[in-house]
């Protein structure tokens, strides 16, 4: 199986292309507009289907560079933890 390695710049470019694809599909398909499906979701689903087909057929596996993963996920975990432990004041 072939391994396709994407660094952070390739991943950013791929994300921009998938966003553009999602926006184009959202404009072309009236059902997506009617149900207010956002373009990033449509683009992400397209990539997920493409990635699954590559992996399931045994053609390739796509790996991403994890350099910035901790930078973007750490504040989200902190915010989620802070919100779950916050106490409500009685009204």
Residues 43, 41: Cα–Cα separation, whole Å: 5
Kindly give the confidence (pLDDT) of every residue in the chain, 91 residues in length, as a single tens digit, with 9 standing for 90 and above.
899 999 989 999 999 999 999 999 999 999 999 999 999 999 999 999 999 999 999 999 999 988 877 776 665 555 555 555 555 555 5
pTM for the whole thing? 0.72
CA-closest candidate to residue 3, choices 68, 66, 69, 64: 64
């Amino acid at each position: 199986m072939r391994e396709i390695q994407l660094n952070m710049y390739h991943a950013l470019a791929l994300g921009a292309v998938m966003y553009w694809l999602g926006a184009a599909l959202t404009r072309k398909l009236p059902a997506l507009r009617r149900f207010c499906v956002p373009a990033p979701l449509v683009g992400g689903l397209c990539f997920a289907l493409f990635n699954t087909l590559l992996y399931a057929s045994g053609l390739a596996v796509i790996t991403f560079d994890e350099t910035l993963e901790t930078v973007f996920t750490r504040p989200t975990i902190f915010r989620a933890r802070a919100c779950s432990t916050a106490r409500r004041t009685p009204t």
